[in-house]
Amino acid sequence: MEKVICLLIAAAALIWAAGAVMPVEFTQAVNNGHQKDSLRVMNYDSGASLIEEYSNVERLERETQVRTGAYGPSSSASSGGGLEASINSNVIGTAHIGWQSYDPVPDSKGRHQLLGRSVEDLTGVFSIEKFISLWSNSSPGEISVDWLPCC
């Protein structure tokens, strides 16, 4: 008789648990997969790096083109090189876009001098259109980017 009562109690508990409603906070935490999309590119020969990272994404439409390598008549590292990135994204979530350029030749203490750096953090609903061009062995004014405004 005790076994039957225990089985009935267990069955009642299972039926009650199946009908129970979880708190809203718990449901949101379980359903939020913290989706993340990340791109990291580094050209050691020219001393250029790029990061494009999206997190807590509800919606992401992304088109990114990255070109890196040695540019010029010969494809050796001594001829220079660089990193070019074209980013076009529509996002609901959080974005982190950054780049840095450093001297690929270390100084006497073995450190690489930082030449330039940019970091951009965004949260919300936004659109990104960005072109990044990092070249080694270039001089100021050598690179020109023309923008055509939209109608």
Nearest to 137 by CA among 70, 79, 69: 79
User: Containing H/E element for 12?
Assistant: helix 2-19
Euclidean distance between CA atoms 66 and 46, whole angstroms: 15
The one-letter code for the residue type at 126 is F
Euclidean distance between CA atoms 140 and 110, whole angstroms: 27
Cβ pair 136, 116 in contact under 8 A: no
**Domain boundaries, given as residue ranges, for the chain:** 34-135
Selected residue with higher pLDDT from 101 and 17: 101
pLDDT at 130 over 80: yes
Q: Note the pLDDT of residue 145.
A: 46
pLDDT at 39 over 70: yes
- Tens-place pLDDT, residues 104-126: 888 888 888 888 889 999 999 99
Q: Note the pLDDT of residue 138.
A: 55
Q: Note the pLDDT of residue 114.
A: 86
Cβ pair 132, 84 in contact under 8 A: yes
- Tens-place pLDDT, residues 53-65: 999 888 899 999 9
- Tens-place pLDDT, residues 66-90: 988 765 544 444 456 788 899 999 9
Cβ pair 95, 126 in contact under 8 A: yes
How many of the other CB atoms lie within 10 Å of CB of 68?
19
Cβ pair 87, 99 in contact under 8 A: no
Q: Note the pLDDT of residue 148.
A: 39
pLDDT at 102 over 60: yes
* Planar angle of CA 102, 108, 113, nearest 5 degrees: 15
